[in-house]
Structure formats: C-alpha cells, structure tokens
Structure 1
Amino acid sequence: MKKFISVIILLACSLMALGQNDPATKKLLNDISKKYQSYRTAKIQFSLKALNQQKQTTVNEKGELTVEPRTNKYRIVLDDQVMISDGKQQWHVLKEEQEVQINDVEETQSGSITPANIFSFYNQGFKYPAAKSEQVAGKALWVIDLTPTDNSKSYFKVRLRLNKSVNQIYDVTVFDKSGSLYSYTIQNFIPNVKVSPKTFIFDKADYPGMEVVDLR
C-alpha cells in the first residue's frame, strides 16, 4: 500500500511539473522581450516560408517590418500587400484585389502569429519545457517548443529559435493542425532607426483607385 501511494505521489508530481513552464526558459523569453521593448524603433528584414503539405506547395516571400515596440505601431511591406497600424487600427492593403481593409488591431492579432507580434506573442498563452541547444549554419541557437494553452487555436505548436550570441530571435515556425508550416526567419535587424511618423499612417493618396472597406 505504501509503495502504491508513493507511486501515485510521484505521478502527481510529474504531472504538475509537465504543466509548469521551465524557469530558465522563461528567463530567456523575458530577456528577449525586454531587449526588444527597450528599442525606440526597429527595422527588420525577414523571409516567410509557407508549406502546405496537403497541396504539396511552398511559398517563399521576403518582407520588411518597421515598428515602434512601445506603441505597437508598425508597417509591414510584402510583395502583394502592405499592413499599416497606428497602434489602434490596421489598414491592410491588398494590391491584387485593389482593396484596403480597416480593422481594429486586437482583431487582426487575436490568436494569430504575424510579423507584427513575432517579438511578443510568446509572453502569454503558452507552456514550454526546458530549451534545447542546436547549431545552424555556424550559429548556436536555443530551441523552444511552445504549446498553446488554448486548444482551440489553429496551431498545436510554435518553435522559437533564439540566437545565443546576440540574444535575439533567429526564426519562428508555426505548426498548423492542418499539417501546414509557416516560418518567419529574421534576416536583418536594425534597432533605433530614424522613422517618419507618416510611416504608421495610412494615406489614401498613396493608393489611388483602391476601394476602402471598414470592417470594424
């Protein structure tokens, strides 16, 4: 009986440990977040890779993110779309559709991982084990697998890799429940660049002939 009780206690303790976040990993994430929030502005070049395993298709794209970390203002430029936010609302310019969609920022980022929140999405709503080490192209990385606490999310895991030498995000890979993979890789990160306030404001004159649709 005593042996049986000891096994039950050990199992219970193991389950509790599984539900807790690793303290060392939490510190790594906190340090990354604090460093990012310390910047007045940042300009980031990134690459996006989307792999649809059902259709056996791969899309590769490059983009640029200009951001004010403390105000959540940003401008994302991709090949066929532009996303502009003043911290409260987002203008989504769809070039092929000749349309501009206006949404509240909270709606656009709810449950999604995008270039706009790639440096902050992990602050809440995830559980994670101890980080592992990995070498990629001569770079020493921390590898952290984050699992969403909300099972209704469209993805079941997010892999975050951190560059040890510069204490910065290397890439983020989202594992979708459909079998698709989405990867954001940081190609270049320039902090505290001079940015015009107009960068984060939508000017209809810059997009003549486009229909503006307010979805708020």
Structure 2
Amino acid sequence: MVISAARCAKIAEPQPPQVRIPKPATDLSARQLSDRILLTFSMPSQNTDGSPVSSLKSVDIYRLVESSGPREILDLLSDEEFLEKAVRIISISANEFSTYLHGQKFLVEDRIDSSEEILPDHLVFRYAVLFLNKKNQTAGLSNQVLITPVRIVPPASPAAEVTEDFVRLSWTPPLENMEPSSAAEMPAYNIYRWEKGNKPSLVPINPEPVSNPVFEDRNFEFSKTYFYAVT
C-alpha cells in the first residue's frame, strides 16, 4: 500500500486591484494670440501612485466665463464649484493627441468670436484641464488659469523681403483695438516662425517683444520654406 500526503499551499491575501490615475496638470497656462486663447500644458508622465502613465484615455478642457472682480474672490473656486459652472469646450481622445502635442506639451486653441460680442465688459476666462484614464477615473482638475481677453485688431499688410543676410518682415499696426484703447497702448509684437510641413511654433523668434512694425530674421536658410506670424 502506498500512501501519499499532499501539503497545503499557502494562499496569499487578496489584493485590491491597482488603480492607475494620471496626476493632474500643474503647468496649465493661457495667453491671447489675436482672436484666440492659446492653452499649453504638459503631457502627464506619472500616475498618482508614481507609476508611468500608460492608460490616458482623454483630456477634457473646461472654460468658465466670469465677470471681472477682486482677484482674491476670483481665485476662490473649488474643483466642484468650477465643474458645476464651467463648460467643456473640447475633449481630446488618445488617438487625437498627436494633433495637439508639440513635443511633450499640448497646445489647444480657444477661438474668440468677436462678431458675437462675447467680450462686453472685461470678462474673465477661467480654464482648467482634466485627465481621464481608460476607466474614466480622474485625480482632479489641473491648476486653474485666468485671463481677460481683449478685442484686438491684428497687424495688417504683412510683408517679407529676403536679402543676403536676413529676412526683413514688416507690417502695418492697427489704428486702434476693438476696445476703446488705442493701438499705441499695445505693448509690442511677437514674431513666430515655422517650417513648411511643421506645426506652428509656440516660441517667438524675437528674444524680446518688438515695439516697431519691422523685424529682421537673421537665422534662416535659403533652401527652406518658412511661415511667419505676427501678434
């Protein structure tokens, strides 16, 4: 007779499923470019548990339009209060990320339709971003940014002249803004350049804002095609 004894295997304690939720953005910024608000923020790289992000499903961007008031009052909005009042202006799915990514930063435009006169009396636009994983879970809103858009008439009659040493850019300043203030009160201009086939640049080629309606681009190559924008 053969008798065998089986040893009982030790069963580990059940573990809760891992939850991988991207950390909220902390570098959301906003600036006005003509009739658009440009929003930039970084692609999330870490989840709340420190693991690398691999399950980002979508990016939702919200905007809240408020009347201007004391800054300390405008800054006091919880995530819940903001989401209750704000409007989602765009939802970017994962398969659309490449359209909005410049390196590791998202660039999203919120176009202002001045023909609808949505900027009557110094309204404040408040923006925030929400990262969602594949289970529609989120770790909360990004930092909130506030900007007061103004109606701006863009520079007119842009021109470019190529010489041996530089590309001379010139334009005609607007006589006045769409706000009652005059064009003379505008601080300066920024010039942006990008090559054919590339996305528009986020960084101006002028090291400092330009006060005169002319600029010389000396860092160029004759064999390339460039696009310029002046704001």
TM class by shorter-chain length? under 0.3
The TM-score with structure 1 as length reference comes to 0.24
- Larger fraction in helix: 1
From the CA coordinates, give the structure whose radius of gyration is larger: 2
TM-score for the superposition, normalised by structure 2:
0.23
**Greater RCO, 1 or 2 (C-alpha within 8 Å, sep 6+):** 1
